[in-house]
A and B are shown apart, each in its own frame.
Chain A
Amino acid sequence: MSSRVDRTLPAEQQLAPLMAGRRIEMVVIGGSAGGVDALVGLLPALPSRFDAAVACILHVPADRESRLASLFDARVPLPVVEARDKQPILPGTVYFAGAGYHLSIEEDRSFSLSCEAPVHFARPAIDILMESAADVFGEGLVGILLTGANYDGADGMRRIRECGGLTIVQDPDEAQSSTMPLEAIRRCAPHLVLPLAGIRTVLPLLETP
């Protein structure tokens, strides 16, 4: 599979060849500083019917109850919930990682939580969710990494790529904080680097044609 994509083409045309023969089961979206605003621009683009599950993970303070799921539930056409331990993953549902615990995906396609040490000072860590998702979903996984001010997510994106999944990074030039997208680009050579508007265009297309 070629990773050469003509970056001057419209986002949907860049995506089309990458989707050939691919059945997307899960989309993992990670972000940190500026991530809430980026998701506000992104998630409402999801259609009311969607074949894949979506798991979102932002760095939130561990001592505060995360209200992200209820914040987005009102704005997104799909059901939005906080991912719970041992919860089976359903298509067409948007899950958020809660505060204070790492979130992983198990072989039986359920979520699990853990209290291992923070990764890149983060718990939940994007790397942990992405790496475990890559092991389970392989080519059926899409990783999207947005704005952020640390290195979390870069290793996760690399694992997704190694396992055959599709990787999309927000254009660092327009990201509120470019550290995270830049590091991901350096470590994983993502399939697509797109501005938020471009990611917004391709997100609803990440389905079986």
Chain B
Amino acid sequence: MIKPPSDFDIELRMLVEAVYLKYNYDFRDYTGASQKRRVLVAMREMECDTVSALQAKVLHEPNGFAQLLQFLTIPVSEMFRDPEYFLAIREQVVPLLKTYPSLKIWIAGCSTGEEVYSMAILLKEEGLLERSIIYATDINPKSLEAARRGVFQLERMRLFTENYQKSGGKAAFSDYYTAAYGGALFDRDLIENVTFADHSLATDSVFSETHFVSCRNVLIYFNRRLQDRVFGLFHESLCHRGFLGLGSKESIDFSSYADRFESLARRERLFRKVGV
């Protein structure tokens, strides 16, 4: 039996459609349950009783969409999140990356930059940073701005340091930042070769060939259709036998690209493009 959609579901679909038509941000293939919760939070914070009222605000008020976007995207990250992922990169990916004269690495959905700085530190310690170009992309301009600044809250440094140590870090973590004004400012030379760019996995296409794509805890917000699109982008971007890293609970198994990648480190979610 097909249940008729609730008023909320109808309005939600219209909101997402309006956002797409007016701002070309495509949330139409985001998974329903978490999007619904985020819209409920946005309604509360933006003081709207209905999704339709929120839609009116987003369409007609100058700052409405920029505000909503902060709720629709989820900037939750930490440096060296899931340290075993970074340890596996060091042990299993880096030796192969070292065979390339130059490297292109794509951090897709980089949010506020925690993973960008983590990756840059890892590459630096492995002697690869100078020959690498890192593309750090996201759809949220505010997040990209924060990522560019590279200032993280001081009170998070304890967790980040712990993660860094577990990830096989070779130096003192505090070597990489300067504490000032309650924040930790990360060294600018870490992002010398980083290009921060506004890029949508839902609407944009491939912009470069890459050797390694790291996209963690982004795909869980996409439905299977959009996941397939994104795996397609990564597959197209990756060079022959290129590497793909996902979040610790993400998998390719339910996608139509399942057989186009092979597992390199199963638990750490590192994959390799299958040769043809």
Question: What is A's interface to B at a CB cutoff of 8 Å?
Answer: 84-87, 98, 100-102, 104-107, 112-117, 128, 132, 135, 138
Contact = CB atoms under 8 A, between A and B. Distances in A.
A28 to B, nearest CB: 13
**8 nearest interchain CB pairs?**
A104-B33, A114-B34, A132-B33, A112-B31, A86-B254, A113-B220, A115-B76, A85-B220
Interface string B129-169: 00000000000000000000000000000000000000000
Interface string B24-44: 000000011110111000000
A196 to B, nearest CB: 30
B33 A100 contact: no
A173 B163 CA distance: 42
A113 B32 contact: no
B91 to A, nearest CB: 19
A104 B251 contact: no
Interface string B191-223: 000000000000000000000000001011101
Nearest to B162: A63
A86 B250 CA distance: 9
Contact of A117 (B31, B33, B76, B223): B76
B251 A84 contact: yes
A153 B85 CA distance: 32
B76 A112 contact: no
A112 B33 contact: yes
A117 B75 CA distance: 10
A115 B250 CA distance: 12
Contact of A116 (B32, B34, B250): B34
Given A85-B249, A85-B251, A86-B227, A106 B220 contact: no
Interface residues of B, number: 23
Interface of B: 3, 31-34, 36-38, 74, 76, 217, 219-221, 223-224, 227, 248-251, 253-254
Nearest to A85: B220
Contact of A113 (B38, B249, B253): B249
Contact of B34 (A84, A100, A112, A135): A112
B74 A114 contact: yes
Nearest to A105: B33
A102 B34 contact: yes
Contact of A106 (B33, B37, B217, B250): B33
A104 B34 contact: yes
Nearest to B224: A86
Contacts of A84: 249, 251, 253
A132 B9 CA distance: 13
Contacts of B254: 85-87
Contacts of A100: 248-249
A75 to B, nearest CB: 24
Contacts of B74: 114-116
22 contacts: A84-B249, A84-B253, A86-B227, A100-B249, A101-B220, A104-B33, A105-B33, A106-B31, A107-B32, A112-B34, A113-B249, A113-B250, A114-B34, A114-B74, A114-B220, A115-B74, A115-B220, A116-B38, A116-B76, A117-B76, A128-B33, A128-B37
A19 B76 CA distance: 42
Nearest to A129: B33
Contacts of A105: 33
Nearest to B31: A112
A138 B220 contact: no
Contact of A115 (B3, B217, B251): B217
Contacts of A104: 31, 33-34
Quick one: which of A87, A102, A105, A115 has the most chain B CB within 10 A? A115
Contacts of A116: 34, 37-38, 74, 76
A101 B37 contact: no
A98 B219 CA distance: 17
Nearest to B159: A63
A102 B221 CA distance: 12
